[in-house]
Chains A and B, each alone.
Chain A
Amino acid sequence: MIKLENVTKVFPSKKGKDVTALDNVTISVNKGEIHGVIGYSGAGKSTLIRCVNLLETPSKGKVWIDGIDLTKLSKEKLRQTRQKVGMIFQHFNLLKTATVYDNIAIPLKLLGVPKSKIAERVVKYLEIVDLVEKKDSYPAQLSGGQKQRVAIARALSQEPQVLLSDEATSALDPETTNSILELLLKINAELGITILLITHEMNVIQKICDYVYVIENGNLIEQGSTIELFTKPQQSTTKKFLNTISQRKLSDRLVDELKLGGRVVRLTFLGENTGQPLLSKVTQQFYVEPNILSANIIELKNGIVGNLVVHLIGNDHQVEQSLSFLQEQGVEIEELGVN
């Protein structure tokens, strides 16, 4: 549904120091899926999402939406194609001088929706975002979460096939963030809208994404299904993002101390399997004493990932055997305190 093919974006600068905001990035979002792009500030996330609807023209590469190469379109055709692509923003971008109702109705009028249909459409989408009773309020009278709901209703009212979200929850508190994420899940499920979102918050990815891209300095450094990324992160940046979700990291000093009497490993389990029975097997079969240092469960959109950090106490050979046993059982193992 959305495809960026080898997209490079260079911002020329007068001082001769051109900024390469995106370097040969390829992503592909299937119809009906929710994909997320995560990265630190300045990584190129906004540039990437703005390339999707050509608010930013790529220096190189192609942009496909629903089989149409946008980079080849005339200005007029591009304008029409953009109507199929909804977009929401960190700062909502509503008209201050218009009511909630008008904020949705004005674009519809400008896009040529017949007058008789406008009222019906506005109410329909205000119902979806649960804001009908606020239709005569002005944006200044709404909370951040409510403003974002209006922005979502505005985007949906044009009945797009694709929704782009540029940090839509970054200005909101955790509770409100959750309610907006639920809403995105709902419109994805009920209206079948394909969503590409960018964020710097791992919990956004965790809650609603099927697939994740990690971007750093304009480069796509890692990608995979959300489950893959949570169970087998490769890049240190990805691991750092995962650390923001759960208390995954132990201090180096503590790890060093524990290593004197055994090995410290992180075990990542997938699915309902909490790991408990496996650990008791380890004790019974290999006489290794597993001491649980931390444990948590992360609920992803498509599954559950369990995380255990354990201190394995026993002789080297036995510990080694127990680790290969765990690996055979499909547990991801990462040894801590080895560099």
Chain B
Amino acid sequence: MQSFIDQWLPIFYEAIKDTFLMVAISLAFSVLIGIILAIILILTRPGQPLQNKFVYQFFNLLINVIRSIPFIILLFFMLPFTKFIVGTSIGVEGAIVPLVVNAAPYIARLIESSLLEVNQGVIEAYRAMGIKTHQIIWNVMLREARPAIVLALTIATISLIGATAMAGLVGAGGLGDLAYRFGHLRYETDVMYVTVILLIIIVQGIQSIGNRLAARMKKD
């Protein structure tokens, strides 16, 4: 037992670190892009004051197209593009670009639907008060949608963890990669079990933190 720990602890530590890094960085970029896309969709959708059929349809289609490509295909399909952007297509950096491309449209959709849930009456009340549109976006729409957005991002984070495991295929490292290389290719089943248990703990933890945070923000 002690020898198992001595032998594997540094490797697990490294894998967990890589997973966290990949998830955190790609989540940050995806959320940023996702929020912007969601706001564009909300503002330009038909019936809104800033409605714009062309812009709305363009982003709508773009999101749908990317979302219909399975991540594993996206991963390989994007290799040259990744290399162009970050200079390498392997390792943590190499995984970030496809992860963001995969997660941003998904997050955009989740945030879009959270924003659509915001009471239109409140938005209208703020318009009637003569408050600027960008202030309404921040202080009414995003504010009121916060609990829903937190839950949406919890879901997105968990599916990003799943995607990082696949990113192991391009040599990205992380827990998924560990389980695949040692557990699957070298029949170290103990490593596989420990990885799975770790993943379960991480996913559970994130979900409960998300739920608790959302519940605290929700005031009704």
Contact = CB atoms under 8 A, between A and B. Distances in A.
Interface stretch (B105-113, B127-135, B190-198): B127-135
Contacts of B135: 110
Contacts of B122: 93-95
A95 B135 CA distance: 14
Given A55-B127, A82-B129, A111-B131, A91 B144 contact: no
Interface in A115-161: 138-140, 151, 158
A79 interface: yes
Given A110-B135, A138-B220, A140-B219, A93 B125 contact: yes
B70 interface: no
Nearest to B217: A97
A98 B143 CA distance: 9
A107 interface: yes
B130 A139 contact: no
A173 B218 CA distance: 27
Interface string A72-98: 000000011111011101010111111
A80 B219 contact: no
B220 A140 contact: yes
A53 interface: yes
B130 A111 contact: yes
B46 to A, nearest CB: 11
B139 A106 contact: yes
A82 to B, nearest CB: 4
B129 A96 contact: no
B176 to A, nearest CB: 37
Contact of B220 (A86, A106, A107, A139): A139
Contacts of A98: 143, 219
A233 B75 CA distance: 76
If over half of B's interface residues share one DSSP class (helix, strand or loop), that class is named, otherwise mixed; here it is helix
The interface centre, meaning the residue of A85, A106, A151, A164 with most chain B CB atoms within 10 A of its CB, is A106
Contacts of A140: 219-220
Interface string B191-220: 000000000000000000000000001111
Interface string B111-142: 00000000101101111111110010001100
B214 to A, nearest CB: 11
B144 A97 contact: yes
A55 B124 contact: yes
Contacts of B146: 97
A238 to B, nearest CB: 30
Contacts of A82: 127-130
Interface in B6-28: none
Contact of B130 (A81, A91, A96): A81
A45 B144 CA distance: 29
A156 B144 CA distance: 23
Nearest to B136: A110
Contact of B219 (A55, A81, A96, A164): A96
Residue among B122, B128, B219 with the highest chain A CB neighbour number at 10 A: B128
Nearest to B143: A97
B220 A53 contact: no
B129 A107 contact: yes
Contacts of B144: 95-97
A339 to B, nearest CB: 44
Q: Which 8 A-B pairs rank lowest in CB-CB distance, beginning with the nearest?
A: A82-B130, A140-B220, A93-B125, A83-B130, A93-B121, A138-B219, A87-B128, A79-B130
Interface of B: 119, 121-122, 124-132, 135, 139-140, 143-144, 146-147, 217-220
Given A89-B121, A107-B131, A140-B219, 16 more contacts: A55-B124, A82-B128, A82-B129, A87-B129, A93-B125, A94-B122, A95-B122, A95-B140, A97-B144, A97-B218, A97-B219, A98-B219, A110-B126, A110-B135, A151-B125, A158-B129
Interface of A: 53, 55, 79-83, 85-87, 89, 91, 93-98, 106-107, 110-111, 138-140, 151, 158, 164
14 contacts: A53-B128, A55-B128, A82-B127, A82-B128, A83-B130, A86-B129, A87-B128, A97-B143, A97-B147, A97-B218, A110-B126, A110-B131, A138-B219, A138-B220
